[in-house]
Amino acid sequence: MLDELYQEIILDHYRHPRGRGELEPPKITQEGFNPSCGDEVIIDLRVEDGRISDIRFHGRGCSISQASASMLVEAVKGKTLEEAHQLIEQTLALVKGEVEADYAVHGDLVALAGVRNFPVRVKCATLAWHTLEEALKQASAEAVQET
């Protein structure tokens, strides 16, 4: 179904997930669920000085949903909230086929482009990213309260 290279990257992240686990409080937690496949992704993150200082994920589901969460954690750690927003948009565009897939530009995330012709799989690949988007909304709301 997926291009061989893409499949290799997905399986590598699925078998050896980066940043799998939970954070100790204080943290922001956001749960995401994809009913069409039964995938669950929970993202824990901490924001310090406007940056995602730490981020972990846990949950269960198909290899694409969990590999995508692993890639996300690796890609957004240390990023500012604005950079994380941009990365979400970029990745959603990549998965939907709105931008060209290029390993030099996207790194491992390029593998998510392999699902673009499979609408059901698109939901698996984008679950973690939509979940992060919700988590960032929480982070922004908390930042407003503190000032």
Please report, as ranges, the residues that interact with Zn ion according to CB under 5 A.
37, 39, 62, 65, 124
Closest approach, Cβ 39 to Zn ion, in A, equals 4
Shortest approach of Zn ion to residue 63 CB, angstroms?
A: 8
β partners of residue 55: 45
Helix (H) or strand (E) holding 34: strand 28-34
Please enumerate in sequence order all residues whose Cβ is within 8 A of that of 134, keeping only pairs 6 or more positions apart, or say none: 30, 32
> Rg of the Cα trace of the chain?
15
CA distance 25 to 94: 33
67/110 with CB nearer Zn ion: 67
- Compute the least distance from the CB of residue 36 to Zn ion, in Å: 8
Judged by beta carbon, residue 62 or residue 76, the one nearer Zn ion is: 62
Does the N-terminal peptide bond of residue 26 adopt cis geometry, omega within 30 degrees of 0? yes
Q: What's the min distance (Å) between Cβ of 127 and Zn ion?
A: 7
Nearer to Zn ion, 52 or 65 (CB): 65
Q: Which is nearer to Zn ion, 36 or 53 (CB)?
A: 36
Q: Which residue, 114, 117, 17, 110, is CA-closest to 69?
A: 17
Q: What stretch of H or E contains 134?
A: helix 119-146
Choice between 19 and 61, CB closer to Zn ion: 61
Query: Closest approach of Cβ 18 to Zn ion, in Å?
Result: 19
